[in-house]
Amino acid sequence: MPELPEVETVRCGLSPSMEGVRIERVDVNRPDLRWPFPERMAERLAGQEVLRLRRRSKYILADLSSGESLLIHLGMSGRMTVSGDPLGQFVHEHPQLEKHDHVIIWMEGGARIAFNDPRRFGAMDLLPTQTAESHPLLAKLGPEPLGNAFSESYLAEALAGRRTPMKAALLDQKIIAGLGNIYVCEVLHRTGISPTRLAGKVSRAKLAKVVPAVREVLQNAISAGGSSLKDFKQASGELGYFQHQFHVYDREGAACQTPECGGTIKRIVQSGRSTFYCPRCQR
């Protein structure tokens, strides 16, 4: 599933073609994805200017001149690809539409945005912009990891007394919004914290390393265009490259990159997900 860096990469790729531009028309090629599309979605989007394109956790929100916002979730395999961008940042010729291009957004000026989702776990919804934060998908999310509300003191308070493994705690979207399996594995390795250690038992000294490590990993991943392991592509159609910077994720059996560690990366399963870590330097 695309995590925060992948979603932010897509948002940045869409922004030049969508922000400040009016939607000419929308083609909806099926009635639903994960759930049914909003009633009259194509009609409600057509003619509206995209005032702002923003991200909350793993969701993209397009604030419209109608006072509604289009909420987009990429699901497991979804991607949004731009073609015909009048700014010249993408290929001018529109490629042939693909089998799983379920929603096509045509922008004034010639840009086309195709939402492709082979597994159909993605979603779109329309909601009032003013009350967007109360939407069921957004209401209980924790602070953004790149925002000021995510701090050492906040994290220490949020994890105090928790008897869940540290890996599970950092994946809890009510504690931190947007982190996923890949980046939690990377953060825990960089901070020397075992994924199996109980969150409430992690020392304050080690917790102090978590916030800067989260920001560094996420910002590096965004700069690299995200991680492309299976389906993810940027809005330009290019792959992300952060997978070439992984320290532990998907590196089972490889040597640990921590200086003078000498350990070997191990894979275990936690809550049905693969966890990669170094048993020697992560404790």
Which positions are catalytic? 2-3, 58, 273
Per-residue tokens: 88: 């010249």
Q: Could you give the angle at the alpha carbon of 101 between the alpha carbons of 100 and 106, nearest 5°? A: 175
- How far apart CA 223 and CA 95 sit, in angstroms, is 27
For CA atoms 214, 228, 13, 130, the dihedral sign is negative
CA-based max dimension of the chain: 61
Exposed / middle / buried, residue 214 (Cβ in 10 Å: 0-12, 13-18, 19+): buried
Q: At what angle do helices 204-223 and 4-18 cross, to 10 degrees?
A: 40
Which residue do the tokens 């705690």 mark?
Answer: 169
Checking 107-110 for CB contacts under 8 A at 24+ apart, the result is 107/17, 107/18, 107/21, 107/22, 107/23, 107/24, 108/21, 108/22, 108/23, 108/24, 109/21, 110/84, 110/85, 110/86
Beta bridge partners of 267: 276
